[in-house]
Amino acid sequence: MKYPLALLIAACPFAAYAQTSASSVNPFFEPSALPYQLPPFDKIANADFRPAYEAGMAGQRREVDAIAQNASEPTFENTIVALERSGRLLTRVSKTFSNLNVSNTDDEMQKIEADMAPRLAAHQDAINLDPALFARVDALYRRRESLGLDAESAQLLDRYYKNFVRAGARLAPADKAALKEINKVLSSLTTQFGQNLLKATKSGAVVVDAAADLDGLSAEQAGAAAEAAKARGLAGKWVITLQNTTVQPPLEQLKSRALRERIYRASSERGNGGEFDNTGLVSQIAALRARQAALLGYRNYAAYSLEDESAGTPEAVNRMLGQLGPAALVKAKSEAEDIQRLIDAQAQAGRAPSFQLQPWDWPFYAQQARKARYDFDDAQVKPYFELDRVLRDGVFFVAHELYGLAFKERTDLPVYRSDVRVFEVFDADGSPLGLLLRDDFKRDNKKGGAWMDAFVDQVGLFGQKPVIINNLNISKPPAGQPVLMTLDEVITMFHEFGHALHGLLSNVRYPTLAGTNVPADFVEYPSQFNEMWVREPAVLAHFARDYRTGEPMPEALLQKVLSSQTYGEGYGTAEYVSAAMIDQSWHQLAAPDAPPAAGVMAFEKAALEKNGMAYGPVPPRYHTPYFAHVFSGGYQAAYYAYIWSEVLARDTGRWFHAHGGLNRANGGLFRDKVLSRGRTLEPGVLFERFYGQPPDIKPLLDYRGLVLPEAKPQ
């Protein structure tokens, strides 16, 4: 998911912008008249973005100046609520542009992004570092106990004060100027990193000349590769496009070891040299973030970032990763031994040459090893995972059983691409909740991975209901063929919908606290929790039906799928922990220690060796030059968040099982205590009020089939 950072751009009357432009046709200059303020995609052109950004920034600057210069004594309403109301035009254009730019970009949009990023950073700094404005916030904070605020308002005041301080409001003028320059440059560098990665991922796609080399892929997958080639003007060939992770899905099935290696190297070498080199950007970003943290009084960027997360400190994150890493590696090495035995047995039987297991071999032979152990593979189960059935009879079914939600597809509303779908969401009493957009298919102008975001946030202050989007990157088959998903893609669909529920079920007054505006290591909690329903026998049986006949997955196969769920978790956890350790290593640096571009990969290698995670057959999920989460995606020093959140999620799963599982009462309590609350309380408080005690790591270990190594005697 793209983590939604809480910004001070929230709301503003249209009248403030009427004088900004002579044009009255820009669709952003007034709220959308469509249901739920859905952006009017059919009326939006690239030419609309710059004028709307300009008017939005100018309008919010006027509003903020009026707040800062107000001669009246500061009150919660005339300062904090007024700030919450500021910048509605800027919010509209920012949300629409940022969503379209990651899912449906073009050269012009990327130029707009590059041009606007430093200007938006400067605009935000002008607000955060305004001494008169901070003086009003500070005055309110100092007498917060006497203001008689309700709990949500008190939390909002607390967040404003901390956000201002963390943004540098207390710095001396010279340090503020230095910080502004750092923020401006960082915004440009991180934007360039993301744009380079999109181009490197597109250009790194592997062209296949002979159909025989695709042996192992299904007819649907081969058809998708042919369609990808046609889209690039390569009719008669096949193109294997790249996902954002190191290991690519086709490696599970391709029999050609040479092609597997080509795909792996194309993926793992992205951004490391060549036309779209990111190593120089990484070096600069790491050094600037360290300088930024030092200016703000922290020993490194991780210490700065984690202070405002649930984890609190780098030491807490290091401790957790240091526990999980060895446990994952022990299991991964056991899995590797199984795979190597299989490779050796095939060589002895004369069925294949003998070789040592390499990263491009692991997915292919792990499938075979799992099949040998559990007597099934992905090819057997994919016919039971047709996209629309998984969505309606799986994802939506669980949401109905837990929360009473109903979904009605809307084909009368504009979308930005013909294959984007829109669903209206209704609560159990029939009242409307919001809209859900789905953009499920991979394309060259869409960033990799899967994520949730909002075109419109739920905001009680404005009577505003949410418009949420889920993005996946499933290969689109030729017209007329079914969209069949892997088990991993099914889990990802449930995961991202967990984020969507967090946005859809938000019931919060203020925009700063609403929906997914929570720390990174809490925002993944609802999504990780929602994954668990894929493993529930009743849920899996409800949606796993043969797309050709409608027949349910045979009970024997269903049980094999369920019993195999912890197979490969050693590999999966180890590749994840390795990436999280790389992230922490970059962000626990002091500025002078950041390596030059030529030393970036050596730094990464040393970090893995130092943490005991340098194991050749299991590469990190992301190498540094294409680690978008932390160098352009808002998860800097926070990639650990997925596993931290999963501790909470697996504890919650245990709670659900102890209280009867999938039912409306349990869902209602989780909705009331967590999903609807945004950041109206701090995450640890929200969790304990739901769960009744602090988090426990054991359910996570059980879920992943891991055992922590015994502590060494002191």
Active-site positions read: 496
Confirm if 244 and 201 have CB atoms less than 8 A apart: yes
DSSP run (H or E) holding 240: strand 238-240
Which positions ≥6 away from 210 have C-beta within 8 Å? none
Rounded to an integer, what distance in angstroms lies between the CA atom of residue 498 and that of residue 395?
9
> Residue written as tokens 């529930």?
536
Which parts of 486-599 fold into alpha helices (H)? 487-504, 520-531, 537-543, 555-563, 569-587
Q: What does 648-693 look like in DSSP terms, one character per residue?
A: HHHHHHHHHHHTTSSSHHHHHHHIIIIITTTTSS-HHHHHHHHHSS
Whose CA is closest to 357, among 484, 268, 261?
Answer: 261
Residue 166 DSSP one-character state: H
Q: Which two tokens stand for residue 629?
A: 């989460």
Residue 435 DSSP one-character state: E
Residue 464 DSSP one-character state: B
| Other Cβ atoms closer than 10 A to 205 | 19
Confirm if 496 and 472 have CB atoms less than 8 A apart: yes
Query: How far, rounded to the nearest angstrom, does the alpha carbon of residue 284 sit from its chain's CA centroid?
Result: 24
Residue 89 CA neighbour count, 13 Å, CB half: 29
| Other Cβ atoms closer than 10 A to 144 | 14
- Identify each DSSP E strand in 23-167 by its residue range: none
Confirm if 530 and 398 have CB atoms less than 8 A apart: yes
